[in-house]
Structure 1
Amino acid sequence: MAFQYQLLAQQIAQKIYAGEIHAEQRLSSLRQFATQQGTSLNTAKSCYELLEAQGLIYVKDKSGYFVQTQANSQPIGVPEHPDFQSNIREVSNLELQIQIHEAAINSQLVHLGSIQLSPNLVPAKALSRSIQRALKHCKPQDFLYSDRQGHQQLRDALAMHWAEDGFHIAPEQIYISNGCMPALSVMIQSLTAEGDSVIVPTPNYNGQLQLLALLKRKIIEIPANTEGFDLERLEQAMQFSGAKACLLTANFQNPLGFCLSHLEKEKIAQLAAKYQCYVIEDDIYAECSFSVDRPLPIRYWDQQGYVIYCGSVSKSLSSAYRVGWFCISPRLKHLHAKLLMQNVSVNTPLQLGLADLIYSRAYRQHLNQLRPTLMQQVEQYRQFIAQAFDGVDVRINRPQGSYALWLQFPQQVDGLALYYHALAQGINIVPGVLFGEDRRYNNCIRLNAGHELSEDVQQAILQLAMWVRKTLILTSEIESVGS
């Protein structure tokens, strides 16, 4: 468990990165800070010392503590997003979606494509200990075919874990799945039929769009931006489109990184009940928050049973640890047998190992250490990208959690052409064209900031910047000749 001084330092660091506390701004004295936070002078001193060690603040003799000016720090614009009509349509470019998805998980390329944590951020020793303990204490029946709903021990552990974060889901409502995408697939197939439409905000995670295309579902897009998505348009789509379900991420959506407010989440739960349109909530990034507290899901405000809660530990623990879940309400209890038939049983030792990781508090400790590390790492990426693209109008999202970065270039830059160029150089990125229809995000790309900003990663980003500059120069020359 994180100490109080670490939690306080994390809160201040988040405000510094967000620009709420400015460079060279004087902080409260140690005594003032201790009084304001209701803590001891030693805790306040440890908090400031940690921030100083992180290079975020410095002490000036006889003057106090001040926010450090970050080297090469510069203002970064946020991406702009177009408005568009929310029409029923099919997901296009399925073959391209599959091709780029396969490239994104190629371990031989520089890791800027698939959103995944560096192996150095995975608590491998704690995982190993938990799996060993789980095997040592397992019962004879644990070596038989497992319960398709998931092992009772893991479902109990997850219910306890979430209760500690402020929301309650009964163990009997939890179904363990082989990751988050299989969980989404089971629920989409259970609530909709081929040819039905599913409401999605775009730009939206390309893997979800690919899944909907493979399941032969159509989509109804609603506009999203770095602040969230249009709830009025969501209501219109629920009311008039005939859609039976929508697929939403309220906490640190991929690729934009926004986190909806409590009022917005409550409103979505109310709309779902009003129009009897199920919300399939993908909450896979919630535990990668940059703040101390994990944000509540839409499910927290669901009173009528129209929100299905889905997630996994793939983004907060390891992409190789294929354990996820979907959680239904009593309203959908009649689907129990169907859900069991559609769900794929998950390896029992892995389930028991994860349960042990939770009960031993090792998972909670991992999250407390991961969050400030991710916050600092993502900001390092943002600043390095801004520096690498100096002179180019590159706009970058400022995620409030997770580690997906969404870059927007001038309209002359073709993100798909940049993808092919990068691939030829051994660099993997994901072009924006996959995150919605009509090529409206063609001048965007998504990058993974889950790995350390190593020399290889820096060189890869510089390669991208070089290609973009050359493209803009060539475009300008062609336009000059044409005029």
Structure 2
Amino acid sequence: MAFQYQLLAQQIAQKIYCGELHAEQRLSSLRQFAEQQKISLNTAKSCYELLEAQGLIYVRNKAGYFVQTQQAKAQTAVPLHPDFKSRPREVSNLELQIQIHEASANNRLIHLGSIQLSPNFIPVEALRRSIQRALKHCRPEDFLYNNRQGHPQLREALSAHWAEDGFFIAQDDIYISNGCMPALSVMLQSVSNEGDSIIVPTPNYNGQLQLLALLKRKIIEIPANTDGFDLERLEQVMQNSGAKVCLLTANFQNPLGFCLSNADKEKIAQLAEKYQCYVIEDDIYAECSFSQKRPLPIKYWDQAGYVIYCGSVSKSLSPSYRLGWFCLPQRLKHLHANLILQNDSVNTPLQLGLADLIFSRAYRQHLSELRPKLMAQVEAYRQFISLAFQGVEIRLNQPQGSYALWLQLPEQIDSLAMYYFAQQHSINIVPGQVFGEDSRYNNCIRLNAGHELSTEIQDAIRLLGEWVRGQLSEHKVA
């Protein structure tokens, strides 16, 4: 558990990383800072000393504390993304999708592929205490078959948690699932049929595309880039294609990392109502914002009940707990009985443990500590990748949250060949081929920045950089 001076230091560090506090800006004196924060002088001193040790601030003799000039961020250009026609398609590369999914669970590989947090970021002690308290205070009926909609305590906790973040979903509208993908699966099967087309922006999370292929749904792709996706094209497709469902991530989309503006989210909710097209919103990364304030979901602007809100704690807490949710709008309440039959029961002690983690404020404290760490770590990865690929013309996204990195390499590079080379050296990456159709992203890879930038990971990235340089040399000779 972090001490108060550490939490204060993290808050100041985030303001420095975000540019809210700029280089050479003078900070409050120790006495002023202690008074502002209502803390002791010793706590204020410990906070500033920690920031000084991290190289974020420095002290001038008889002048006070100042923000240290930071090393320039990697000025890598953002990836380019092609335009294309939007039409119904079958999802290809299913065998490769499954192979990549299996590799993500192989702990003998260096995990630069699957987007997951380092175990060192998981609040293990807080989780242990919450689960112990939950077991101590549970009722006899909690040991029987549970409510397939989810335990009322967890649904109440989630509703209160989101209300604190600025949007309200009634606990009766929340259904607990075994993670986000089962939630998406249940809702896709409830509002669409085999052979239907689902609107998706691409490049898009390969796991979603794999799910759509397994459910025998087609896709209609709309162009996306590091700023978001084409809302004009989205409206055209909603209006003309006959598709009645789209699957979207508005907050820190995987793999590009963009966060749509509030105006764009409101526009999407309006389009959904206008064309009676359901939006299944996968909001799994929202709590991994680099800002202390969580961005609002599209669901916030949903007035007519066409937005189905889904998520989980897999990216913000741990993928191993398999706790997610989908939220049913009133418009779809007639599906309740079918959903109860389709939705698998979720481990009751874990539900109660997560409810306790939320109600005890330990989960919110975890998020407060996690966000500045993620921002600093993602930037460290970006800096290191730029160095490791020195001499190669690369493009790299700069996400506003989460920890997925999208690396675009020169056109001559085949990322599938790179994937197989990496596998031979026990490195797991994800090639761009599985993020969309027509081989548009053959020279792209997705990398995970959720683990600490260890010596092992640095060596792996260097090896990938050397391989790319070797490939480019061969092309020049040819």
Q: How does the TM-score come out when normalised to structure 2?
A: 0.93
Give the corresponding residue for 1:317.
317
Give the corresponding residue for 1:461.
461
Paired with 2:95 and 2:441, the residues of 1 have a C-alpha distance of 18
Given that 2:29 and 2:64 are in contact with CA atoms closer than 8 Å, whether structure 1 keeps it comes out as: no
The amino acid that maps onto 1:401 is: G
Give the corresponding residue for 1:204.
204
Give unmatched runs, 5+ long, in structure 2.
none
SS at structure 2 position matched to 1:273: helix
SS at structure 1 position matched to 2:320: coil
Given that 1:26 and 1:65 are in contact with CA atoms closer than 8 Å, whether structure 2 keeps it comes out as: no
Q: CA deviation at 1:55?
A: 2.0
The amino acid that maps onto 1:226 is: T
Q: CA deviation at 1:368?
A: 1.0
Match of 1:27 among 25, 28, 53: 25
Cα-to-partner distance string for 1:149-203 (whole Å, 9 max, x where unaligned): 0011111111111111111000100000000000000000000000101110111
Paired with 2:360 and 2:19, the residues of 1 have a C-alpha distance of 37
SS at structure 2 position matched to 1:422: helix
Q: CA deviation at 1:60?
A: 3.8
Q: Percent identity?
A: 74
Give the corresponding residue for 2:157.
157
Paired with 2:409 and 2:19, the residues of 1 have a C-alpha distance of 23
Answer yes or no: is 1:243 the counterpart of 2:237: no
| Structure 1 residues 100-249: aligned runs within 5 Å | 100-249=100-249
Given that 2:244 and 2:278 are in contact with CA atoms closer than 8 Å, whether structure 1 keeps it comes out as: yes
Cα-to-partner distance string for 1:18-74 (whole Å, 9 max, x where unaligned): 56776xx32144269979x97679798776555433323333445665554555854
Paired with 1:49 and 1:247, the residues of 2 have a C-alpha distance of 47
| Structure 1 residues 224-303: aligned runs within 5 Å | 224-303=224-303
Answer yes or no: is 1:410 the counterpart of 2:410: yes
Given that 2:247 and 2:282 are in contact with CA atoms closer than 8 Å, whether structure 1 keeps it comes out as: yes
Q: CA deviation at 1:105?
A: 2.1
SS at structure 1 position matched to 2:371: helix
C-alpha RMSD over aligned residues: 2.4
Cα-to-partner distance string for 1:220-269 (whole Å, 9 max, x where unaligned): 11111111111111111111111111000011111111111111111111
Paired with 2:314 and 2:79, the residues of 1 have a C-alpha distance of 27
Given that 1:380 and 1:453 are in contact with CA atoms closer than 8 Å, whether structure 2 keeps it comes out as: yes
Q: CA deviation at 1:128?
A: 1.3
CA gap 1:13/1:228 in 2 versus in 1, 3 angstroms: farther
The amino acid that maps onto 1:27 is: Q
The amino acid that maps onto 1:323 is: L
Given that 2:24 and 2:68 are in contact with CA atoms closer than 8 Å, whether structure 1 keeps it comes out as: no
The amino acid that maps onto 1:394 is: I
| More displaced 10-residue stretch of structure 1: 285-294 or 129-138 | 129-138
| Structure 1 residues 444-483: aligned runs within 5 Å | 444-478=444-478
Cα-to-partner distance string for 1:378-408 (whole Å, 9 max, x where unaligned): 1111111111111111221111111111111
SS at structure 2 position matched to 1:413: coil
CA gap 1:308/1:34 in 2 versus in 1, 3 angstroms: farther
Q: How does the TM-score come out when normalised to structure 1?
A: 0.92
CA gap 1:5/1:252 in 2 versus in 1, 3 angstroms: farther
SS at structure 1 position matched to 2:368: helix
The amino acid that maps onto 1:369 is: E
Cα-to-partner distance string for 1:125-168 (whole Å, 9 max, x where unaligned): 11111111111111111111111100111111111111111110
SS at structure 1 position matched to 2:401: coil
Given that 2:197 and 2:219 are in contact with CA atoms closer than 8 Å, whether structure 1 keeps it comes out as: yes
Paired with 1:258 and 1:9, the residues of 2 have a C-alpha distance of 27
The amino acid that maps onto 1:30 is: S
Cα-to-partner distance string for 1:409-466 (whole Å, 9 max, x where unaligned): 1111111111000000000000111111111111110111111111111111111111
